[in-house]
Structure 1
Amino acid sequence: MMHILDTDGIPVADRRDAVRQTIADTVVPVNIDFPTARPASVRGEITGLGDLTVCSIRSNAVTVERTAALARDELPPRIFLGVQLAGSSLIVQGDREAVLRPGDLAFSESTSAYTLVDGQGIQQHFFSVPVAALGLPPDMIRRLSATVLCPGLPLSDLAGTYLRRLGDRPELTGHPGAYTAGPPTIDLIRSLLTTHRGADTARAPSQASLPLRILEYVRRHLGDPDLDAARVAAAHHISVRHLYNVLAGEGILLGDWIRTQRLEHCRTALSCPGPAPIGALARRWGFRSASSFGRSFRSAYGTSPREWRDRAAG
């Protein structure tokens, strides 16, 4: 699905409200300020690739702000990774701020106030991903917002090149199988965040990486219905109590995290053409029965797996 935003076809008096409404409907509600002496001018494409939303914007907007009041909405938490296309911009969130220059990568997250400023007009590709799909500690995500990611590291150059090219190709959604670009892009964004966390921490490397190593281990074994705290702790040569303490420090409850990740994988698979039978899909991702999966899925998403699949195919 792709939305085209082009103010050239909108009456000047209506442009500002039309832009704000389109962004609210397709991404999240924000306040957008334009130069007072000139008409609002925006050209952009907003593309959905499963859990990944690609928003490519070239505009004369000078400020985008998600206020504290807007951040208290009931939308699922998301991040917005920006790739600066030209000039420079400033991103501010919490007590952090970062200046982005062409090719730089930084993100904001939707649950607290943030501001993006560019006096020459905001020109970025944004990549929006639900926090649940990233499978990273929410506290870690909050600590890394408004930070230039992996400056000087090869991964940053690789990711920036790929993301810029992806943002430059809005017609991708018209190609069969376009949805398959979503999961590997989310994997790349996850790698950016975890690499930056590992490079930027002042703690001992083994201690700093332990939460991420635990989550990566769990992620690799999600399909095992016998996965539990004792097995995870044993794999990392720590006690169950220490395991819970390490994850609690990142704002994670292990059982809830495992269930959420299993459901996210199932939801993504159900959105793709020709998924496996629902029962087989549930077992593949560690659910012991289709009935228990169905109850968990409805509780999380407000609909049954079959209804979700039919809606995605519709």
Structure 2
Amino acid sequence: MIEHFSTRDVASGERLAYWNRIAATQSAELMIDSRNREFRGDLGCWKLGRLAIMKARAEASVVSRQAVPYGDERLLVHLQTRGSSDQRQLGRECLLRPGDLSICTTAAPMRIETVSHEMLVLKLLRSELERRVPQLDLHIGSPTPGNSPAVHSFHQLLLALWREAEIRTAPPSADWETDAETLLLDLLGLALRGAVRGGPNVDGRGLARVKAIVDARLGDPELDTALVAQEVGISPRTIQHWLAAEGTTLRAYVLEHRLERALDLLAADRRSSITAIAMELGFNDPAYFARCFRKRYGFSPSQGREVPRG
């Protein structure tokens, strides 16, 4: 039931390249780097229903991942079982010690620096955890300590399921797989719901980058959350989370700044028509621009030309 890979039978100068090929096969956009030419690593992979479970044991290395721009977003649950790892994603950093776990997303770049270590990794669709954990974004990139009863129970269940897979000589029934998968996800949800988070975790530098991109591209009619997220290198949900902490959305933020810029241009540029100014600021429909402008300021764009600007 478990597929095993190891560098032990690979020539020393080829081990890291082999390890990277295996890693990319099991998890897209993943890359491992190490200073040790004698790099050693062992990996076990198992499918449990819709879940992919991996057990990795390797020497000190740097694991990095580019955002996966295609397919459904997936989450990676890293459960440290030996050694330690320093993980960074979405402007957050967490140090995992044995028993601790973290959640990473495939929708944003990730970097993990490890010493000699062992780790259990659970790969699942975001939707499977999202319906079990409110405000899931607060947990992504943040550590969940292993000293809580729920995390300990999740850890023990995952180890027990792995040992069961190691000794089985025949595949389990579909009902057994479904029940085991549900139990594992329910325990993980319980562990995350019980974790104390210090409120919305907003990366100030990342949010400033988002706002700078919006200001620079106000005239782009295609400007949306997906475009900005791709340029910053984070997930659209992260942008939504950051702006929600400020009580707004990207769409509302873009509209507000377009209208503020429009008011300035109407007073400063008398030669350009109102339609030209609207188009310059990314409004494809002048009538829609006029409605938004009146709703925001209480007067029409033509009246806005007479408003003194200090």
State the TM-score, normalized to the length of structure 1. 0.56
- The aligned amino acid for 1:89 is S
Deviations 1:55-77 (A, max 9, x none): 101111411111xxx31431421
Partner of 2:72: 76
Which of 95, 98, 101 is 1:99 aligned to? 95
Change (3 A) 1:126 1:168: farther
Partner of 1:156: 151
C-alpha RMSD over aligned residues: 2.9
Partner of 1:200: 197
TM-superposed CA distance for 1:131, in Å, is 0.6
Verify the 8 A CA contact 1:57 1:125 in the aligned structure 2.
Answer: yes
Partner of 1:231: none
2: CA distance between counterparts of 1:140 and 1:160? 22
Partner of 1:19: 19
Superposition pairs for residues 94-243 of structure 1, below 5 Å?
A: 94-118=90-114, 120-136=115-131, 140-149=135-144, 152-171=147-166, 174-177=170-173, 179-180=177-178, 181-196=180-195, 199-200=196-197, 202=199
SS of 1:164's partner is helix
2: CA distance between counterparts of 1:59 and 1:43? 6
1: CA distance between counterparts of 2:93 and 2:157? 25
2: CA distance between counterparts of 1:29 and 1:79? 14
Partner of 1:3: 3
Change (3 A) 1:49 1:12: same
State the TM-score, normalized to the length of structure 2. 0.57
Percentage of identical aligned residues: 20
Change (3 A) 1:72 1:175: closer
- The aligned amino acid for 1:25 is T
Change (3 A) 1:112 1:192: same
2: CA distance between counterparts of 1:189 and 1:137? 9
Over alpha carbons, which structure has the higher Rg? 2
Deviations 1:160-200 (A, max 9, x none): 2222343455426644235232222122222222332xx32
2: CA distance between counterparts of 1:169 and 1:42? 23
- The aligned amino acid for 2:100 is D
Structure 1, unpaired ranges of 5+:
204-248, 251-314
2: CA distance between counterparts of 1:151 and 1:8? 32
TM-superposed CA distance for 1:25, in Å, is 1.7
Number of paired residues? Answer: 199
Deviations 1:211-262 (A, max 9, x none): xxxxxxxxxxxxxxxxxxxxxxxxxxxxxxxxxxxxxx69xxxxxxxxxxxx
Structure 2, unpaired ranges of 5+:
201-243, 246-310
